[in-house]
A and B are shown apart, each in its own frame.
Chain A
């Protein structure tokens, strides 16, 4: 018997007793039972109702950004295929000559929202993959007003087959990553100066608490570019310590001060 049967009112027998005994060690369950018992209602109907609302919710989210999702999905698929192809080539050693051809630059564009949400994952993939080929995942912003034709996307999926990995974003997107007109040349610096920035890195850091990371000491080196609004992006983990430390370093930089603009990439070291 499961918990739902118990809520429904099957309160007798060994199973009911077992749930009651378990709940003595489990405050969550104990209080939940108290809650169900304190109100007379068809609780199972309510729970089903919640399930339905939740499902409806996640579906509407999907309806809202069908293009974003498909672009993101396409990017992921291509990335996986590209990775898979390269493994395939590596496994058959006779194709080393073709390796030069394979190390072409792959530009993958993903929607800004996706990019921001998955920045940590992307940064990791960038680092892991640089040894074999040079991916460059940048962002673009869709013009919400105009409807975007999905033709570009179908073109893209046809091209997967013939080995060339080239991704085209819809025609009318604004390529912010490449419009460096407003960016001055030179090296960006944190607004407020390096002294304050380093002080921030020290005070704002949250030490990892997971077992594999909590005792690790050392530094994490993160390289990134600064966009025209002074925000760091295109992260790359240059020196890794461990998973959560790397994530924390990127989080610190993302949440930290803005930077003066500049075209050169910046390296920041975070001490753990």
Chain B
């Protein structure tokens, strides 16, 4: 037993790329702050971006990133965390909502981004599925409104980035995103209907 502990003490000094969950359990086992800091720093760009979205203020967002770090490094030991990234996402969001609530600002929630986890339509557009679905997909693509169809085709078939689609079509960036988003949703509904018939 002691040997294991001792070996662990000595092997800790080797630097190696740990996964999120490994770093987390290292931190829980050893209580060394640097493990948590290393883990947190990986997500700083994402956290900062998310705060920017909700707080719409660079200074407040930077403070929020620091505050969340301080809160978590004290409390994280008490939580059971399965996937750190998912957990962190909701923690950061809640923190921002909390700040907005205190400032009595309206909370704008974009529902588009709420329904996106592992949509089968993404796989369908990415690879060649079976023929039935392929037919349905093509039929449905035809039925999409022009801007949605162009955006979806360019994004999924020609592998163009948003910025490139903007350049080629002259659509606004925000419109391109929502064309793709809505196009995806319409396709899904349409394909499901087609396959039932």
Contacts and interface: CB of A to CB of B under 8 A. Distances in A.
B117 A51 contact: no
Given A28-B46, A35-B51, A80-B9, A17 B66 contact: no
Contacts of A21: 155
B130 to A, nearest CB: 22
A37 B175 CA distance: 13
B171 interface: no
A47 B29 contact: no
B53 A47 contact: no
A54 B66 contact: yes
A243 B143 CA distance: 57
A202 interface: no
Interface string B139-175: 0000000000000000100011111100000000100
A132 B2 CA distance: 9
A32 to B, nearest CB: 3
Contact of B2 (A30, A87, A244): A87
B53 A31 contact: yes
B80 A210 contact: yes
B161 A12 contact: yes
Interface stretch (A117-125, A171-179, A181-189, A193-201): A117-125
A51 to B, nearest CB: 7
Contacts of B86: 28
A63 B33 CA distance: 14
Contacts of B52: 32, 35-36, 38-39, 43
A246 B162 CA distance: 51
Contacts of B1: 128-129, 131
Given A54-B66, A80-B9, A128-B1, A46 B48 contact: yes
Interface of B: 1-3, 5-6, 9-10, 29-31, 33-34, 37, 40-41, 44-54, 56, 58, 61-62, 65-66, 69-70, 78, 80, 82, 85-86, 88-89, 110, 113-114, 116-119, 122, 155, 159-164, 173
